[in-house]
Structure 1
Amino acid sequence: MSDNQSNAFEFTVSEISQAVKRTVEDQFGYVRVRGEISGFRGQHSSGHCYFTLKDDGAAMDAVVWKGSYSRLAFKPQEGLEVIATGRLTTYPRSSKYQIVIENIEPAGAGALMALLEERRKKFIAEGLFAPERKKELPYLPRVIGVVTSPTGAVIRDILHRLDDRFPSHVIVWPVRVQGDTCAPEVTAAIDGFNAFSPDGPIARPDLLIVARGGGSIEDLWGFNEESVVRAVARSEIPVISAVGHETDITLIDYVADRRAPTPTGAAEMAVPVRGELIAYVEDLGSRQRMAARRIAANLKDRLRAASAGLPRPGDLVSTQRQRLDMATARLASGLRAAQHTKAMDHQRVAGRLTIGLLRQRLDAAANRLQTAGTRGRHGLQTRAGRARVAFSPVASRLRPGLLTTPIAQGRRHLDAVSNRMDPAFIRIVETRRARLDGLSKLLSSVSYHQVLARGFALVTDADGNLVRASDDVRPGDALTIDVAQGSIVATVSGAPSIPRKKSRSEGGGGEQESLF
């Protein structure tokens, strides 16, 4: 070993790594790096993000800590060209340098437009821009909610235009319409208006206007964020988008129920012109009164024409009145004739209706009744005597005590039988159960399934007949082989086997069946 090598100062790996780390951080500090995001897979379970910034000639590792990620106005996306602001440092364990990003900006308007188009296609695929999802605007909203900056000219233009057209109750939800907090504040405002109770202390708006003045695509970017688009999509209150000028297009314009070219145009869409509405209502009232007069005059003419064709009331009842007069004239003579006829009939039968004749008939009926009563009493007495004579031989034996003793004996016998019945029934059931268990065990012991469980098999042909010898089958025959765990379908192949002779050891054992 030479003297130069032996006298060189020795560094540890950690010392070299720390020296490189200090050199890189002191030399560069905060830098702005332009490159394309590659390898972005979202936030790690720890909340941090790891990806690579690359261009045509080189690549650099990048990291966004959890606290910085929540403050990013533009979130990292795979393939997006960005300008990242942060500080360069090294990671000693892998001898790599990396940039710790604190802010990300799209690299120019082209990148923003590409990101905007990508989000637009995503929302179209979800159906958020479908025309059938859009709600009708109320014709005359009582309360209008406005989401905008309270200090800009936009809110003054809206209020002035509403006062000119139709003064309405306006609730302003103040938000920032530009910057990092724009999107969350607009989202909270839309959700907050929808959370109002219809019967609450603050009236729930019938219509929402999201408004902002014109600006660059970067200034309007807050209204392209996904949270704002989804808030408008889930809003139960109809929403008018009035963001920017007529040439400015944001994603909220596609999802809103109506898009206005300017904030003033949104106010014109929200309410009709009060003077025109009053004139229209007066015109309708005038037309209604004229129509009512025409209808009344027409009905009066029709009534007059119909009444001219109707007969007079006296003509309708003249015939009936004449018939009544003629009947009245005939009524007196008819009553006299009827009275005379009834008097003549009474005179013809008056001679037969004497008191003696009635008394004679009454006496005859009384005699018949008395004779029938006498005969009835004699008959009842006779039948009672006969019954008494027939009952007298057994009357002495029919005492209550004679029935009490047999009843008591029968009840005791019945109680004894009932007490013995339950144990006897239990014994019979147990005896039958034990017998059934024994028969079940016997059946299981003699069943061929026990033989199959020991490794044997049961072979049957296509007709279900047992195959006891090789001569019972021919090549090509289908066989079913039953084993302990299922069945096997097989086909006989080759020539029939020649039956082998029994050995001496088999001769004394008797003939056995073959199980395949």
Structure 2
Amino acid sequence: MDFELLRKLKDWRIEAARREGVDLFRVFQNTTLEEIAASKPKTKDDLLAIKGIRERKFEKYGAQILALVGGNVEPEPEDGRGEKLYTVSRFLDLLNNNLRASGARIQGEVSSFDLRGSYLFFSLKDKEDESVLSCFMWSKDYALYGIELEAGMEIIIDGFPAVYKPTGKLSMQVSAIELVGEGALKKAYEELRKKLEEEGLFAPERKKAVPALPGKIGLITSETGAVIHDFLNNLGKYGYQIKFINSRVEGQVAVSGLMSAVDYFNKQDIDVLVIIRGGGSLESLQAFNNEMLVRKIAGCRMPVICGIGHDKDVPLASLVADLGVSTPTAVAIYLNRTWDDAVKRLAVLERDIFYKYQELLQVEKYRLEEMAGSLRKYFGMIFQEFDGIRHRLRSALADIGYNIKSLAKMLDDSFGLVFEKFARNFQDQGNFLDETEKRLKIYDPRRQLKLGYCIASAGGRVIKSVRQVKNGDSIDIQVSDGKMRSIINEINKIN
């Protein structure tokens, strides 16, 4: 994004809103101006492609915006003689666009002062010939610089002339004001320093530590001059990722750009924010003694390093920063510090690792040599034992062969005896079975039944005594060819 263009667009919007008597957002919202500054449209189509700009807005402001950006503006209509023909409004727009390029720093004495809500009107008078210049300033810009105007106060203003379209009067559109004289500046500096110090903004306990080995750096300074080159040339080659915003750093007029840059970086993923500029007088360093900028730096979520050159009084921005040094080179050296230490530490560690490796290697060498000697000894013992085992195995195998032959003979001898004994036992068992069969036949219940005997039972139990039954009981009687059921009518006991 072109922050200088964004500043010009915002200044133009202020003047346009003043002419129309409307709030700033009625002209354009901040997001629209930021997109214009980022894309830098060159034609009408480019401008209409931006959100927030339609035909009506383009008809009203398009030519002015393209003129600010440096794009192509559609040609003006011509009259019958081939000469350009302007409306009053269009001519005043072109005139104001040209007057905008006539920006100047003007010194004078405040002769009148009128603050009306969001507007500030005052007159600046030349002390020599009483010449008067009407001035207009937005009250929010007036508050930005922390100066309370009084009649007779000598100041310097930054701005550009513009014609107010509703009245046709010329006035100075003021963007910045500052005090005149080192005494006045010194007094304002001391008063603000005391105020901020009493609030604790300079206290060491509120300062954030700059992280070790920072990698992502936000950088705010002017792209012109030697400062940025001194800083970059002194940064070590440690792979820093640098996000840079070009900003004015001279005088009060730089305040708004510096604040916008700080706001931008406060939303970015960075490790540290660096704000640098070369040395200068108290007057040239006024932006870095601005109360609103100092408070923005104090409110940053990431550590802030200020490297601002100065003669005597340390800029308030440096006092409130988490680290303040006197030169951009000193900032670079500080950022390199932990990286340099890391490189030195790595060299020491590399050496220590090498020596430790050599030491361990030597220890392992001795250990391996001892192990090799032990292995040779153990292998000798193993081979000796192996020879003994082999000899014993051969003897055992020879014994086994002899024993097998002896066992074979014993088996042959025993086979006849076993067979003979088996045959004799077999005959004995056959005789035993025959005798047993005869006995079973004699005691077989079915044989007794066939001889005329019977078996009486009651409830599945054999009746062995008359005491097991009584008159009227039903009993079962089994004979050789079947069963009968009978009722007991009489029981006679036998003594």
Asked if these proteins are the same fold (TM beyond 0.5), I'd say: no
**TM-score, length basis structure 2:** 0.44
